[in-house]
Homo-oligomer: A and B are copies of this chain.
Amino acid sequence: MITKANIQFVKGLQDKKQRQKYGQFTVEGEKSITELLKSNFTVLRLFALAGWIQENNGIIGETECTVVSERELTQISVHKAPQKVLAVVKCPLPTAPLPGSLFVLGLDEIQDPGNLGTLIRIADWYGIQQIVCSPGSTDVYAPKCINATMGSFLRVRVHYGDIIEASESLNLPIIVTAFDGQNIHKSELPEKGLVVIGNEGHGIAPALLKAASVKLTIPRFGGAESLNAAVSAAIVLDNLIR
């Protein structure tokens, strides 16, 4: 049984202002939550169907857990058909990126939370553990973003800050894609770097293009004018990390 106040609070976390005010966000989905409970994240509370709780007693441990009906779960979920369990999680404190990584992903003003989630999942596939988002980028703790990461938010740390400053503090050259860059299929590629992907509509900011040490081009064989941000990132990382 969930109280009205709790329904309102959990639903409120779909809103960025509320997430920032309370420093909390929600995670949904059995698989993500199973992994979440084994991670370093602080799970403040679970709302789950009785059956799920029975099956997962071992991993729930001391975590506060409220039994809810399917109808109640639908009330607090972002999904029309929610998946058995929802977790309220503490947002980790902001930190600066740590030196030592060969490749870091930089995201310049990515606006769509689904795109950000997909980019986190791609970074995770290629073993990239740190992302630097420019301050105006969308919020990593938006439910759509967390959902699109398919659990990869647990392994990839997302920092917000100036990308050029990050490249300096990490001592990594900035790598961008640009129409006038070297052919990514035919060039000798850098062994480390901060790979910057631009905004969905406007691409990479002029200051970042200017600061770039390496400009790469994904060769085009047909008529499309561009590729979307996540697809470009995947192709660039697949060429750099092989």
User: B223 near A242 (CB under 8 angstroms)?
Assistant: no
Which one of B122, B128, B129, B224 lies within 8 Å of A124 (CB-CB)?
B224
Closest-by-CB residue of B relative to A155 is B223
Q: Say if the beta carbon of A218 comes within 8 Å of chain B.
A: yes
Cα of A30 to Cα of B128 in the assembled complex, Å:
38
Cα of A185 to Cα of B219 in the assembled complex, Å:
18
Q: Say if the beta carbon of A63 comes within 8 Å of chain B.
A: no
User: A125 near B238 (CB under 8 angstroms)?
Assistant: no
Q: Say if the beta carbon of A230 comes within 8 Å of chain B.
A: yes
Q: Which residues of B contact A126 (CB under 8 A)?
A: 220-222
Residues 217-242 (chain A) with a chain B CB within 8 angstroms:
218-228, 230-231, 234-235, 238-239, 241-242
Q: Can you give 14 contacting A-B residue pairs, CB < 8 Å?
A: A118-B228, A125-B222, A125-B224, A125-B227, A126-B220, A126-B222, A127-B221, A152-B224, A155-B222, A185-B242, A221-B241, A227-B234, A231-B234, A235-B235
Closest-by-CB residue of B relative to A154 is B223
Q: How many copies does the complex hold?
A: 2
Q: Which residues of B contact A53 (CB under 8 A)?
A: none
**Interface digits, A115-131 against B, CB 8 Å rule (1 contact, 0 not)?**
00010011111111100
Cα of A121 to Cα of B225 in the assembled complex, Å:
9
A-side interface size class = 20 to 34
A71 to chain B, nearest CB (A): 25
**Interface digits, A147-159 against B, CB 8 Å rule (1 contact, 0 not)?**
0001110010000
Cα of A187 to Cα of B220 in the assembled complex, Å:
23
Q: Which residues of B contact A121 (CB under 8 A)?
A: 224, 227-228
The 10 A-B residue pairs with the shortest CB-CB distance in the complex, in nearest-first order: A127-B221, A127-B222, A124-B224, A125-B224, A185-B242, A155-B223, A231-B234, A124-B222, A235-B238, A152-B224
